[in-house]
Structure 1
């Protein structure tokens, strides 16, 4: 099962200048719990936005740069190559950025989407639109604003309808 995991604003905003637009500690915790011990597929810019590789995950970095090499990254040059390398993982995760999500949408079986309740006009990266005709929402868990979270948000789990 190929899963895309993301946090996006009400208008599918993901980030700006290769960074996030919000700080949601509980969402980070959920991301860590879900992706630990799995392959995580990302673009070069997403990988370079991390201060260091995320522990207990295999980082597959898609880039067009044939000479790119970084410690902690398995460098690939296509989504197909990333999926081939991760084929023994029961649930590899596609974690971004925007272009990688666009590549992943046609092949993903599941979307774990944290819908951040706000709009962010200065965003420069977006999660791709997906058709509600092709996907079914199977779970929603709301999280209110609190002292650690400036925005309320909802964890949404979507599955491709053809698999349901």
Structure 2
């Protein structure tokens, strides 16, 4: 059985991006992302994949969701929808890594959320994460971090589990 985990960084308004880029550069968030996802499967939308500076992320199975059947990317598999992509994963830990429309589809399927909650509001944003509803999600852990010379604002790593 797959474990489906959404991983995202959100600001105070649930914003996740602007013009297909992350809102904040937080080195510890990027390290956490790498630690959690290495050796596992990543599922993402086409625009998220195209925003990756070096294409497919190494040491991970990269799955891209796109309605364009003619797409082809090095070291990535293409599926036309989220359900088909998840069905292709057998007994795998599957991380949903964006973007907005993929998160909206996946939130009803996810078992866990690994969130970076950024304690700031981005000036510009055009992509948002769905609301994390307390009726459906229980906070499992929280690790708070202050702003410092490498991190322009404070943030928290927050893990949620689906309520039964």
TM range (shorter): over 0.9
Matched, 1:60 2:49: no
Partners of 2:53 and 2:137 lie apart in 1 by 34
Given candidates 78, 100, 103, the residue that maps to 2:102 is: 100
Length-normalised TM-score, structure 2 = 0.96
Structure-1 residue corresponding to 2:45: 43
Aligned twin of 2:125:
123
Question: Which of 146, 158, 161 pairs up with 2:160?
Answer: 158
Q: Structure 1: which 5+ residue stretches go unaligned?
A: none
Secondary structure of the 2:7 match is strand
Cα distance between partner residues in 2 of 1:27 and 1:134? 25
The two structures have a TM-score, normalised by structure 1, of: 0.96
Is the counterpart of residue 20 in structure 1 residue 22 in structure 2?
yes
In structure 2, C-alpha distance between the alignment counterparts of 1:116 and 1:5, rounded to whole Å: 14
Structure 2 unaligned segments of length 5 or more: list them. Answer: none
Separation of aligned partners in 2, 1:142 and 1:87: 34
Residue of structure 1 in register with 2:90 after alignment: 87
Aligned pair count reads: 161
Distance 2:134 2:28 in 1: 27
Moved over 4 A (4+): none
- How far off is 1:130 after superposition? 2.5
Residue 30 of structure 1 pairs with residue 59 of structure 2: no
**Alpha-carbon deviation of 1:131?**
1.2
TM-align CA RMSD: 0.8
Supply the distance in 1 between the matched residues of 2:132 and 2:157 (Cα, whole angstroms): 16
Corresponding position: 1:71 with 2:71: no
- Partner of residue 5, structure 1: 7
